[in-house]
Structure 1
């Protein structure tokens, strides 16, 4: 992992990944995407980590793909490899066992907006903005559209994609792209409070629930109920579920074992 363009810190069962290309507005170069993939793989393998916060340094959260780097590519295969790598990275966020919270302090555009949409939760400063402006430069935001259209309604998603215009944090909250828009001075505390709240839960239970959430979304109603009933049955037999129920009935704090 390139420690200069991506920072990874772990404290109190919370991992913080920080994009650190401020001079490039945290544009997703090959190297930065590779570093993010590496950090996610490391976190996925560490059951002691219960929550991930995805943040950024500099004047923007993420400006999307590194267009200067993209323009150096000479073949269709080279271009395709960039979008394939980006898809792997976004999918890794969704499939990570731990919940991921986007902490958006400023503008998130194109694939940067895609990152926000791919995270499980998202908090933004009230001055942050979100856009899928590819249409303005002749490159429709087709891959960002995948994540965007899964968290925002069709009409708002198409408005963002077709106009390329940025939307403010309040609108993004209303459309479901982010959970909360807060004052910039309150952003760190709001994200920290939620991360600590989740970290206090059973890591096993949260992992099971996150995986089930995304899988059932792709099923029809009958399949979803059959699948989640099986998930809950397995979950019910786990030690943490038994401990949690016993603790609730005994009016005491649970002691999670992670299994």
Structure 2
């Protein structure tokens, strides 16, 4: 793993830091792959939470546009450039632990998508969100796929077609982030939620994460059965 994605563990929390501030935390596809690998590695541990944050003035301004694909055809382009991005979103969703984004500065493109994909997203009041791909006539369908579960069609269409950069408060209103705090209180807000999460038993955390993963895709009767089975499993476990 390069120095762009730094991983550390303190107690029951694994923290992943995007550390390319000199490039506004723009990520190449290789670095997106590194982030995915780091998420998967953290997922395989007994950590109770995974935090994704960034060093420098911005969270992540998206994919580095200078990172050309060089793919000769559509299939090769999908394999080399598009699927690694989708894999990052999938790794966040598949992690058994809650994944928490700590967002400040600009979160554009991939940065907006990661914010949405995480289970909890804490935004500084100075954070800004945008899907800018249509400025280059590129439909941001990959990022949109990560945003769709959390925001309305109207809100997403506005972000894409109007190309408006949203404030943190606007992002909160449409469901893109969980909460907004003054930037100076960002770490304190993270510490507070981590104290709560890590004090809970692992089976309960996993059950909630699993439920959130499937709940919005199930019909009501099946969802009711799933919820009963999930709760019964936790109640019968030794640790809860």
Same fold, TM-score > 0.5, yes or no: yes
1:109 and 2:105 are equivalent in the alignment: no
Indicate the residue corresponding to 2:88 in structure 1.
89
CA deviation map 1:94-137 (0-9, x unaligned):
11011111000111011110000000000111111001111111
Number of aligned residue pairs = 239
Secondary structure of 1:195's aligned partner: helix
1:74 and 1:68 map into 2 onto residues whose CA distance is 17
Indicate the residue corresponding to 2:30 in structure 1.
31
1:24 and 1:76 map into 2 onto residues whose CA distance is 28
2:121 and 2:22 map into 1 onto residues whose CA distance is 24
1:165 and 2:164 are equivalent in the alignment: yes
Indicate the residue corresponding to 2:67 in structure 1.
69
CA deviation map 1:202-221 (0-9, x unaligned):
01210121012211211111
Aligned partners of 1:133 and 1:163 also within 8 Å: no
Q: Aligned runs of 1:213-252 on 2, under 5 Å?
A: 213-241=212-240
1:75 CA displacement: 3.7
Secondary structure of 1:42's aligned partner: helix
1:22 and 1:183 map into 2 onto residues whose CA distance is 21
1:30 CA displacement: 2.0
1:121 and 2:120 are equivalent in the alignment: yes
* TM-score between the two structures when normalised by the length of structure 1: 0.88
Runs of 4+ in 1 over 6 A off after TM superposition: none
Indicate the residue corresponding to 1:20 in structure 2.
19
RMSD: 1.4
Indicate the residue corresponding to 1:244 in structure 2.
none
Aligned partners of 2:123 and 2:181 also within 8 Å: yes
1:58 and 1:73 map into 2 onto residues whose CA distance is 32
1:31 CA displacement: 2.1
- Unpaired runs of at least 5, structure 2: none
1:80 and 2:73 are equivalent in the alignment: no
- Unpaired runs of at least 5, structure 1: 242-259
2:19 and 2:70 map into 1 onto residues whose CA distance is 22
Aligned partners of 2:69 and 2:77 also within 8 Å: no
Aligned partners of 1:20 and 1:58 also within 8 Å: yes
Q: Aligned runs of 1:32-51 on 2, under 5 Å?
A: 32-47=31-46, 49-51=47-49
1:134 and 2:152 are equivalent in the alignment: no
1:74 CA displacement: 4.5
Max Rg structure: 1
Greater Cα offset, 218-227 or 65-74: 65-74
1:238 CA displacement: 0.9
1:73 CA displacement: 4.5
